[in-house]
A and B are shown apart, each in its own frame.
Chain A
Amino acid sequence: MIFSKFHTGQYKQLFLLTDIVISLLAFTLILLTYLYSQIPEKIYISSFTVDSFNLLAKIILVFTTLIILIYSKDRAIIEKKVIVEFPILILLACLGFLLLVSSNEFLLFYLSLELISLTSYVLASLNNKSEYSTEAGLKYFILGSFNSAILLLGIGILYSLTGETNFTELSTYISLASDDKLALQVGASILIVGVLFKLAAAPYHY
């Protein structure tokens, strides 16, 4: 790698920041595994759940973020332009994923999903000198906002039918409800469309 004369400080800054972030993530991983070994049963705070399954997912997520950051250490330097904010963006996306995993309510779910999507838009259009990157970022942003609207529509239909945003109470309501099944199915299918869009899964993968 050729160190530019004026940007030596920025290279140093980026590498130091990445090292700090990696060590923090490793510390979090150790804490999470300790918590995973200690946790007896479900801890449940109305909109925020912590159980062994959640913790396993969180361990996998933090481990993946760690691997990504280790291998993309010099990916944040695009055409001699040092993007110091790259590890911070990755870390914020990781925070969004962790919140999403343990969310037990639609509002928290939506907010953490928005956190993830906003960071991904920025990461997609990071190379602002290239046309492809800008186009990809713009397309991703427009489709993502459209998809957020669909997701909110589904959440709104479910909320208008049941008056609940909490997942646990929603599931008990749906299991007890006898009438209005069709409307519930419509709301749930719109919600599933939104989530599949966000995941870029099978019918919406273009």
Chain B
Amino acid sequence: MYISEVLFLIFSSAAIFSAILVISSNNPVHGIFSLVLAFINVSILFLLLGVEFLGILFLIVYVGAIAILFLFVIMMLNIKLVELLDNATRYLPIGILIGIFFFIELTILLQNIFPSLNQHPIVFSSFHNIFSYTDVLAIAEVLYLEIPIYIIIVSFVLLVAMIAGIVLTLTHEESVRRQDLFTQIATDYKQTVHLTQ
């Protein structure tokens, strides 16, 4: 048994365990924390499969942004603890049935498409050539050497989105006295200094 296979088994079972925790925990905040744990495990699985850029992207986007957003929303909404036991027992048999059907379908499909999966175990590539041509390097070469103009245009599109957010939501009330930077900068001494007698 390869060491990468052992790691794969550990992290995939941890991912499944934390995914079960997400739907079975009573407190929604604990559910979000186990969701974060599941995302971290999945990104480690991506690293093991040799797609390190996607793994890091998962970590940044899902853990860094989306899960924290969920956490904020749940903390703001003040949801009460759900009654779990009723619904779980009621929908358990049909859930198990659908799960079994899906599993059988997927196994048949995978055996038809990839018949070699049975004979050879999956050998993970990342451990054998760590110092070779990486994923990030390939993507960066395409992005910054072949199509740099697209990055510039995308940055302009993001600028437009930012300006749109400011224009459509910012309202200046007449009654509120605020600092007007432009007038402060644009004044000259003729307007401010008066000669009194």
Contacts and interface: CB of A to CB of B under 8 A. Distances in A.
Interface of A: 4, 6-10, 12-13, 47-48, 80-81, 83, 85, 88-89, 92, 95-96, 99, 107-108, 111-112, 114-115, 118-119, 121-122, 125-126, 128
A115 B160 contact: yes
A124 to B, nearest CB: 11
A47 B167 contact: no
Contacts of A107: 147, 150
Interface residues of B, number: 25
Contacts of B164: 118, 121-122
A181 B159 CA distance: 41
Interface of B: 147, 149-150, 153-154, 156-157, 159-161, 163-164, 166-169, 171-172, 174, 177, 180-183, 186
B155 to A, nearest CB: 11
B174 A6 contact: yes
Name the prevailing secondary structure of the B interface residues: helix
Given A85-B166, A85-B167, A9 B160 contact: no
A122 B163 contact: yes
B48 to A, nearest CB: 31
Nearest to B159: A92
Contacts of B171: 81, 128
A13 B186 CA distance: 9
